[in-house]
A and B are shown apart, each in its own frame.
Chain A
């Protein structure tokens, strides 16, 4: 056993430390730059919505009037005539609304068909992509500066989480999904979250203890962050669904929603589409969440000698899992579809949020295992 450290080892590590501090500086600059670009994107999305309000569409109302009801029943004729001679076309598929759903068309998006609005929307998307890349750089340099995965504390977790959430959005756009309507809601919350991260939660970069040195942990935490980001996107969809659904119900009952509500709601997708979007997003990530919990259990088994011990973090992951299972079940249970299921989805996302913020802040007891592995868990927040 050595009673004193070799001196050259000491200088080597302090040199490395200086370099790491540089990287940490760069990371901070990148995060602030990303915030600036997100702010620009935010204003561009606002402009899209404002210019879009010039166009007055009332598709929902039209679709919900009795005439619209009748028109829906008849499928479009698929072969038509042109200039007297029959021109044959390939058959077109006529889509009918699912059982029990209103047959409301999707809104045109925030730009509402307005050309200038659309231009701003495109600018906003480009800015979002740019901000995403800059923030990603910030996360990456942070990771390099601490020589480990960037989720050692709440600050790092938050920047990784927002990057991932925006990444999911950008990916959906790249897959040509109709999700631009998410942009404003996403950039707003991302900005709030980043503001919180750089002010309240900021932590100097530091390294982890050996208990964290397990690839299961890397798998576990990275999938947990990804799941959170996707659940978050799903939750935004669910909230908008609830608003749009109220709006449609009001119209269907013959009510007259306010001008602002009409202007905004008319441009969003139909409530059925929002509901479907939220479902697909949540359902797609549920198996991954299941996997995340199991990966965590495997790691806990290696680190602590028990794969499940009802620690508050474990308990809340389980509660979140059961809550999402409730939501999926509700969608297959008569009398629970629609709004009730949506409330369950929001409650489930609330559980997820509480598991990260609430359990870390309000529930103590992780240091309770007076062993080697434990401070590890506290250190990474899990």
Chain B
């Protein structure tokens, strides 16, 4: 593989100023000087200059493919990807927060339809965002495949032979020795092999190379990116996610009908649901009692008894906020919590028509909660007619006292629980066929119970207290039993293992690619005109490393010990050194400021 061939200046890669193309030109010139020796130090695709393609469909297709898989286009696509990800972080997204999207729609009547059209409410699923990353990954595959191939070829082949003029290389050293050229080459070969270089003898020089892991790491990194993308896409397609609120003592079986709400990916099938069931034994929450963080949760955990599969054995476990229960592909997360006071409703005859723990939804961080108690069947009013009862419930686990002037809870723990109820009767319209929230009451067919002042009948109860409904309609008791409920999210997202594996390989590969230096060393030993052996050593790496000259100095120091220096010939012969046919020797009085002493140079 050779470097870019000669082209006119009008074909130099893009660059507005002369400076960039100037630098590029200098670079190419340098590349040519190094010739074969400098090639293949990486498998990066050579820059194709944007020549117009040959005529014909095939020509255009090849041209397009070459463009797509070039470094320049990969870079542009990467840039585009980062820019395209920005709007999704500034505009509310349906996948992240529906309610904020709804708010936005209300506030921006003009913009919202526009945003809808170009998918700005769903950036990461939009056509244009997908187009960018799909192009990028096609480009990546188109780039990786040939590079892998090429790398395998390089592994099979041998490091290229020494360039003619080693003095041209970034790190260079030379000395004269009495030792026989063949012996020097043998010593060099042995030394380089011992240093784990891949080395071989090519003509009058030893050629060696090290650091192949850099390339391997880079390839592994890019391959891992592909694996991660596929795993992520797979996960999205087969994903399912549902929520369920469960009061202490109740249970759940993983079937679609049991969920409060459920979402799934396009290819999800109900049969994919992992079979398991569990009962909630208890929920425990403790809270900071004092200090500026009074009320901050300290523990949140729930004890479950679960069975895997249809007939599995029962096992007990604790689920915490950061520690989901994992069953097969499914994970059970504890995501929320609240209170469920136990309420008993009796009719005018004292018959119990309702007794249950009523889960209420928290409104603030101190778990001020609200909800509805619904008595659907079994109730008859004072006149003996069938009716339904409804109570708006407001609950605080820690009441501030009537003098506090607030009905809001003062603390999330159950220090002074108070339940406030307002009472209605009539038809809850639960049978109308329209699904109803258990936390809301449809009051269109409900009538208020009135107190003696003709106002809505309402009362505040502490545990154990009973209120009597007006007109002999019955009683309501707030039992001395406040249960807690826990909200669970059940998630199944296959492909997580692949994504994780991919990311581990990606990091390892990246580390190899960025920390390992791929470099070459050549050692030439030939007999000079005066019969003394001239040794030349040169090193070549990628420009970012300072270690190439250091390593070369180190190697030279060792080799010098095996082939010690010979006296300098008379000045007249010095200028005709074979290795330096054209260069003018610098003045001995002004040593190069950048010369690095070989290791051990100070020692006698």
Contacts and interface: CB of A to CB of B under 8 A. Distances in A.
Interface string B194-208: 000000000000000
B491 A306 contact: yes
Interface stretch (B374-382, B422-430, B583-591): B583-591
Interface string A276-292: 10011001101100110
Which of B415, B499, B514, B537 gathers most chain A CB within 10 Å?
B514
A365 interface: yes
A249 B19 contact: yes
Q: Nearest 5 CB-CB pairs, A to B?
A: A98-B543, A76-B592, A335-B13, A99-B30, A100-B27
A86 B568 contact: yes
B266 interface: no
B297 A92 contact: no
B496 interface: yes
Interface in B55-98: 71-72, 74-75, 78-79, 81-82, 85-86, 88-90, 92-93, 95-97
Nearest to A298: B500
A209 B568 contact: no
A365 B93 CA distance: 10
Interface string A363-377: 101001111110100
B171 interface: yes
B598 A94 contact: no
Contacts of A14: 290-291
Nearest to B44: A332
Which of B71, B546, B600 gathers most chain A CB within 10 Å?
B71
Interface residues of B, number: 125
B484 interface: yes
A27 B99 CA distance: 42
Contact of A79 (B88, B99, B565, B594): B565
B350 interface: no
Contact of B321 (A3, A93, A210, A312): A210
A51 B99 CA distance: 62
Given A75-B583, A312-B89, A10 B336 contact: no
A113 interface: no
Interface of A: 1-5, 9-10, 13-14, 17, 71, 73-81, 86, 88-101, 105, 204, 206-211, 213-214, 249, 276, 279-280, 283-284, 286-287, 290-291, 294, 298-299, 301-312, 315-316, 318-319, 322-323, 325-326, 328-330, 332-338, 340, 351, 359, 363, 365, 368-373, 375
A100 B23 contact: yes
Interface of B: 12-15, 19-21, 23-24, 26-27, 30-31, 42, 44, 47, 71-72, 74-75, 78-79, 81-82, 85-86, 88-90, 92-93, 95-97, 99-100, 123-124, 167-176, 232, 241, 288-293, 296-300, 320-324, 331, 333-337, 365, 413-415, 417, 482, 484, 487, 489, 491, 493, 496, 499-500, 503, 506-507, 510-511, 514-515, 537, 543-544, 546, 549, 552-553, 556-557, 560, 564-568, 574, 583-586, 588, 590-598, 600-601
Contacts, number: 300
Contact of B47 (A100, A279, A311, A334): A334
A301 B507 contact: no
Nearest to A211: B321
Given A305-B324, A336-B75, 15 more contacts: A89-B601, A90-B598, A91-B174, A98-B543, A99-B543, A207-B296, A249-B19, A309-B95, A310-B96, A310-B124, A312-B90, A322-B85, A334-B24, A335-B47, A372-B334
B586 A302 contact: no
B595 A211 contact: no
A334 B13 contact: yes
Nearest to B95: A310
A101 B543 contact: yes
B297 A210 contact: yes
B216 to A, nearest CB: 15
A335 B413 contact: no
B106 to A, nearest CB: 16
Contacts of B167: 75
Contacts of A90: 175, 556-557, 560, 565, 597-598, 600-601
B239 to A, nearest CB: 8
Nearest to B42: A332
A280 B544 contact: yes
A216 to B, nearest CB: 8
B289 A9 contact: yes
Given A91-B598, A335-B15, A335-B20, A365 B97 contact: yes
A8 to B, nearest CB: 11
Given A76-B595, A206-B292, A338-B20, A213 B543 contact: no
Nearest to B301: A210
Contact of B586 (A75, A284, A309): A75
